[in-house]
Structures are given as C-alpha cells and as structure tokens.
Amino acid sequence: MLLIPCPWCGPRDETEFVYGEAAVNRPSDPNSLSNQEWTEHLYFRENPKGEHTERWFHRAGCHRWFSVRRNTVTHVISAAWPPGQEPKP
C-alpha cells in the first residue's frame, strides 16, 4: 500500500487515489506536429526503471490532479506537487 502525499490533503492511502498515467507533456502547438511526433507523443514512453514522474487523481478526497515522482523499483515517493509547480531536482 502506497502512502501518497496529496499536495492539498496530505498523506493518504493509495486506495483513495486513481493512477492517471506517466507525466507526458501535452504538445504546445498540436497543429504543427508531424505524424512522427504525434506517434511519439501518443504511444512511446520512457518506462524508466527508477525515478518516474506520473499523474494521480485524488478521487476520494479533493478531486484534484497532481504529479508524483516515484521510484518504480522501491516505490519510494520523493516528491509531489500541484500542476505547473514542479520542484527543482
């Protein structure tokens, strides 16, 4: 069971949350993307064995999305932040 630090509600059990996806930045100008760039954006993932940035949703709490940096081997969560406020590593 993960203990996930929601930036608004504090640490809560994993069961209160929904995992969204790997934190993939949306293209700033979608109309200018080539097919190749769309393919990369939609389907290809870093899938790191180690530090992973991902988005979670606090379904049974504040109903807000936020980002989490979690290790995919140890499951240790090193940071969590609201949208657009990524801490400097």
The least CB distance from residue 84 to another protein, in Å, is 22
Q: Which is nearer to another protein, 34 or 88 (CB)?
A: 34
Candidate segments 25-33, 47-55, 57-65, 79-87, binder of another protein by CB under 8 A: 47-55
Closest CA to 55 of 18, 7, 6, 20: 20
Residue 22, Ramachandran bin (φ over 0: left; ψ between -120 and 50: alpha; else beta): beta
Q: Which is nearer to another protein, 24 or 62 (CB)?
A: 24
Q: Does 47 bind another protein (CB under 8 A)?
A: yes
With tokens 């993932």, the residue in question is: 45
